[in-house]
């Protein structure tokens, strides 16, 4: 299996956020950053036949499909469907702490069943020729991360997994909400760093609390293979993605959000022609000018106008006129 070099920097899969419209926008900001779908359950694809959940634009590549599930046979079928749809990677979710995920026996609760995760990975590996990867936590509830994480990683490596993304927090399945699980459990970056020493041949990406390219570069220089950024890449995409290609991948130039908006207009027009709504796209664009003069007015125009009947590309251009022009994009890290 070939390791995807685009995984040096990736945007984390996030439910209700990283849909295909979000990914299309992010791809215009960075050519090389690896993008992930929202989690799609294997049951929805295999039992529910909801194959529309695999829809995406070829322009989004490199893009990976994240699956949720715990039945090895069902996950193998779902992985095959994802590979046939053209995704470059299949990722197994072993990190999401939501109640719905727990009741379905997948997500972070699987940290308690490393042998089952290994079976799932092995079955998925046999079903596809593209990489099968895992996104996990450092532990859940009363587990001791220093003990359970090495065992967990050993299991998935033994099953053939060559790349993992580790959210450097525990998930408290009892007592904390999914939102609280993103902030309250303390980060343990050092533990993830130590895992690289224990598993030198495993491609390890670190996730959790990373808000800048400066941090990402520091982790890469310290010996980790990749960095996965979630909320910061969504809420302030220009700060993370516009300079990612030259800084992280050593190629290309810094992009400008203004140019991305121009390139989004035909995509928006096509979406509206197909019966879609403007707000389905523009909700992902609200943070494009974070920290820039006029950013608040940009957000207000889009938020107030996107749901009005007949709203289209002209509203986006009106919002763009609220942004004070400048020659180059500030390279915020």
Residues involved in catalysis: 96
With beta carbons less than 8 A apart as the criterion, state whether 235 and 205 touch.
no
Residue 281, SS3 per DSSP: helix
Backbone dihedral angles phi then psi of residue 163, each to the nearest 5 degrees: -150, 130
With beta carbons less than 8 A apart as the criterion, state whether 24 and 57 touch.
yes
Cβ partners under 8 Å of residue 150, min gap 6? 195, 198
Dist. CA 205–CA 274, nearest whole Å: 38
Q: Which among 128, 198, 124, 142 has a CA at the least distance from the CA of 166?
A: 198
Dist. CA 318–CA 64, nearest whole Å: 34
Q: Which among 108, 115, 176 has a CA at the least distance from the CA of 143?
A: 108
Burial 91-103 (b: 16+ CB within 10 A, else e): bbbbbbbbeebbe
In this structure, what token pair is assigned to residue 164?
A: 């993992």
Cβ partners under 8 Å of residue 160, min gap 6? 1, 121, 122, 125, 132
Dist. CA 256–CA 221, nearest whole Å: 26
């Amino acid at each position: 299996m070939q390791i995807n070099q685009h995984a040096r920097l990736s945007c984390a899969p996030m439910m209700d956020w990283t849909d295909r419209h979000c990914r299309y926008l992010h791809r215009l900001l960075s050519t090389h950053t690896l993008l992930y779908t929202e989690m799609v359950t294997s049951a929805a694809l295999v039992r529910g036949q909801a194959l529309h959940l695999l829809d995406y634009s070829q322009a989004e590549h490199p893009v990976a499909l994240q699956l949720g599930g715990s039945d090895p046979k069902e996950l193998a079928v779902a992985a095959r469907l994802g590979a046939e749809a053209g995704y470059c990677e299949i990722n197994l979710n072993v990190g999401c702490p939501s109640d719905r995920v727990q009741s379905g026996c997948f997500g972070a609760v699987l940290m308690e069943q490393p042998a089952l995760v290994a079976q799932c990975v092995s079955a998925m590996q046999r079903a596809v020729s593209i990489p099968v990867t895992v996104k996990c936590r450092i532990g859940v509830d009363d587990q001791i991360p220093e003990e359970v994480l090495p065992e967990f990683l050993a299991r998935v490596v033994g099953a053939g997994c060559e790349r993992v993304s580790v959210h450097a927090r525990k998930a408290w399945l009892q007592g904390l909400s999914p939102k609280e699980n993103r902030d309250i459990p303390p980060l343990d970056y050092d533990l993830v760093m130590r895992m690289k020493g224990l598993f030198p041949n495993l491609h390890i990406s670190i996730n959790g609390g990373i808000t800048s390219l400066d941090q990402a570069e520091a982790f890469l220089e310290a010996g980790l293979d990749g960095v996965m950024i979630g909320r910061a890449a969504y809420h302030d995409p220009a700060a993370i993605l516009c300079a990612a290609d030259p800084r992280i991948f050593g190629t290309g130039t810094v992009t400008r959000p203004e140019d991305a908006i121009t390139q989004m207009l035909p995509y928006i027009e096509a979406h509206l022609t197909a019966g879609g709504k403007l707000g389905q796209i523009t909700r992902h664009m609200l943070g494009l000018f974070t920290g820039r003069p006029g950013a608040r007015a940009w957000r207000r125009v889009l938020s107030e106008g996107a749901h009005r009947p007949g709203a289209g590309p002209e509203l986006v251009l009106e919002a763009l006129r609220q942004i004070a022009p400048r020659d180059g994009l500030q390279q915020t890290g």
